[in-house]
Structure 1
Amino acid sequence: MEQFAIVIPAYKPEEPCKLIIEEAISAGFSRIIVVNDGSGAAYEGFFDELKKFPQVTLLTHAVNQGKGRALKTVFHYILNHQLPIEAIITADADGQHLVSDMVKIANELDASPNHVVLGSRDFSQPNIPFRSRFGNRFTRLLFRLSTGADLSDTQTGLRGIPVKFLPRLLDVLGERFEYEMNMLAALKKNYIPVSEVTIETVYLDENKSSHFHPLRDSYHIYKIFIFYGISGAASFGLDIALFWLFVQLLRDESPEAFIIIATVAARILSSLFNYYINRNKVFKQGSRRSLLRYYILAAFIMGVSAASVHFLYAEWLGRGEVILKVMVDTVLFIFGFVAQRAWVFRKE
């Protein structure tokens, strides 16, 4: 275990944190790095106790800066001091990661030194709190749509990370809980392979010790999806409004093709708006290639939308062509999200 360091970001930790450290030392881990993330004067005694262990290195933030910043502080420390270790194993301070699972992570790191190793919990067990089960399923879905990576547990804090990947992970945005999600996305973008090992699922007092703030931290984790949704909704509304306008103008002028013409005209205008927002506010990257790819995708979706509405349209609908278009474009919206993530705005 000497080639691995246990890393524990700690904000207002309690006795389980100390017990985990003692057990890790007993299991053979000889280097444990703890970050006091601005816990305050009331916790000075707790951290003074940790200083008695020669295996523990204590780093301190004067004020609380978040889990992401605490991890980056450790990354800087390891790289600046050129510690003689091969990988780190990150764990939470609430005692919900078992030392036996840290050993599993270490064994997998030893077997796959070029992989990041994730400790994945089994959320099908009956003792899992509802908010954790729902949150995991929802986040897995969004993460798979946005990155293409299908992971069992996107919110696990027990991770094995080879030191050679730390410089790239220091460039990942995020200071709090969202950093861990952004880190997983960065692994996919940088073609860093990921392994998963099953770990025990432990919740103490319904996970009340967690410092996760549902509103604030969920916003930071999901904001790329929120921004994409807002961008899509605004573009969608603009497209529908323009489609309705062109239908009114063209229904009598071109009765045989008014739906197709209205779809094309509305989509060209709304796509210009959508591309600008997605490039500059959502994905925050783009090139001439992305512009070309975007319009290839837009043309494809436009054609599918127009053809679908045209062939599904029936006289008995009366003037229900707008409702039909809303239904078709809802399905195409999801497809467009995946295509933009995987192709249009991919990292070159």
Structure 2
Amino acid sequence: MRFSRLALLCVFGALCVFLTTVSAATTTWDKDDQEIFSLQAALEKTEGKEANFYKILGVPRSAAFNDLKKAYRKKSLELHPDKQGGTKEAQERFERLGLINKILRDDRRKRYDHFLTNGFPKYNPSAGGWVYSRFRPGLISVVLLLVLLSCGAQALVIHLNWKRDVRRVQILRKAALVVGLGPRYAQVLAALRQHQRASASGDGPAVPSTKASLPVIKEKKVRVPLAGFVDLPAEPNPSTATAADWDEHERAVKKAVSDAATFAAAQAQQGGQPPRTVEMLVRSAGNTLDPTARSDRDVVEVLLSDPESGDWLPFDEASTTPKPDLMRRVWVATLISNATGGGASSSASTSSDRPDEKATSSAVEAAANGTGAKRSKPGKRR
């Protein structure tokens, strides 16, 4: 809710700034500019929207002074009121022609050319003057835009936090595998996974050539640094696991563990406190070759000890950090849900989207702080 309140404050703050800026943004035109605008508007009204001073005189924009003078004389004879019946409209057209001639023969011609190139403003009585008829978003459009921007920013923050949590789970889970299975953990897992795939497909077991028999994962409780081993090398691709250089991979794992231990010791020496750790359990996932088992079930299972309840909680990406439903987590959805009386159901559905995240997070922090209660026997799961 803290982010939601901040988003609301940002929306209304930006809206106030925008409205203040729009209301204060007035353009002051001088007398000559207003005369040009009025003359051009009257010209477009009587002669057509494509009309301009040069077209009325029948000369190009690059016409010289003498050319303008000759064109004016010719046009004035043509539009003289005596030849047009002496009507009021004829008199007004003749007067406009005289004003056009004066403007194009002095410095005001540059101003006219400028507006002819960039566009003429229109007179708006509600604005109290001449304004450009450009798109000006209304209040509703501005509010909707700011709401979308704030929701997009919140969704981005939620997604980035989720990616960070996934990365943390991956690092901590891999650290538990290293401590529980040893520096060749990746080879052990590759052998078991390859055996699982081969047995399921009926091709018979297949293991890396360096293993004389299929490895067995024994249940083991381990204490893992909360920061994990961030520099662990990536596991080889399953399709090329049989040709992987496991000796090189083992050396890289040992180096990452050594670097992490050195860094933790330096941090402990500076802060005067030992590195924070959590208790985890590494064990086989059971009969993974059972045809009724889930196809996505891994050969190894990692669990985290909950210091408060003593239970072992599943510790993997699917159960700990499920992908959030961004459409239901943004502040607008929460606001609408609360307004329509669906706040409780929304909270329940949000909790169901992330079933073990809160429990796992509290277990990590509590175990790291050493505040855990008596733990259950290994293998007990909720």
TM-score by length of 1: 0.21
TM-score by length of 2: 0.20
Larger Rg: 2
